[in-house]
Amino acid sequence: MAASDPDKNFHGSIAKLYDTVLVPLIFEPYAADLARRLSGVSASNVLEIATGTGAVTRALAAALPRIVAIVATDLNQAMLDQAAAVGTARPVEWRQADAMQLPFGEDTFDAVVCQFGAMFFPDKAKAFSEARRVLRSGGVFIFSVWDRIEENEFADIVTRAVGTLFPGDPPRFLARTPHGYHDREAVRRDVTAGGFAAAPRIDTVAARSRAASPDIPAVAYCQGTPLRNEIEARDPGKLAEATAVASRAIAARFGSGAVDGKISAHVVTVKK
């Protein structure tokens, strides 16, 4: 991924922290939910796009019958490398691929899945049209996007806290990108523009984000996402201070021991 696009720059150290800290914090509940949804679908092969570090891939590999082939793709090789290093319960095919131009033929897969990747697509309707193109007739596309940041307590608190260090130019990565594609009508329009004739089903799913201390979500968001790029672009020496400020803000709201915050996402299901 080009370093000139900091919102999408998950370089090696971010990728590892993302997988070891952020994935357990907020991704695993939704990975399990997506795997449950797909387990009810008759499929011989599944394509995952914007795989990240493999949270959904691991859930799918554990939940789906071994005869179901899984191809897991991502544009960012550092994320795929981390996913492959962790591994899965059974073999899957890891492949670098751009969701905007998938390297697969038409009518290839029974299901396409994407967890928390659509927010990063520069042309969402185009990416959705690619998912539709590679789906067989009757196949299903399931993807999730984060709800608005105010419905995701740790992300909201971290954004506000880190902003106090840079009042003239507060870092807004979390609000702008991960939580910037929360409007259900906009999602419906993009799915339709992507060529799907059926109306998508959109379920808003609330879950809990739990950690043993406020430091964990502070590190997860400040150092395990491209928010880190924004902080370091403003002042390379303030990453530790920003993380500490975020931790104190979480502790002020939830206490200094174990913390438990709300998270919310939309899960979209549409058939070809």
At 14 the pLDDT is 79
Task: For residue range 191-229, list pLDDT tens digits in order.
Answer: 999 999 999 999 999 999 999 999 999 999 999 999 999
Burial zone of 20 (CB within 10 Å; 0-12 exposed, 13-18 middle, 19+ buried): middle
What percent of the chain is predicted at pLDDT more than 90? 91
How do the domains of the chain map onto residue ranges?
6-271
Lookup result for tokens 């990240």: 52
| Tokens (6 digits) for 160 | 């506000």
Confidence of residue 6 (pLDDT cuts 50, 70, 90): low
Return the beta strands (E) in the chain as ranges: 45-48, 69-74, 93-96, 109-115, 135-146, 201-211, 259-271
Closest by CA to 98, choosing from 69, 70, 121, is 121
Task: For residue range 105-144, list pLDDT tens digits in order.
Answer: 999 999 999 999 999 999 999 999 999 999 999 999 999 9
At 16 the pLDDT is 83
Correct CATH for 6-271 of 3.40.50.360, 2.40.10.10, 3.40.50.150, 3.40.50.740: 3.40.50.150
- Neighbour tally for 65: CB within 10 Å: 9
The sheet carrying 45-48 orders its strands as 93-96, 69-74, 45-48, 109-115, 135-146, 259-271, 201-211
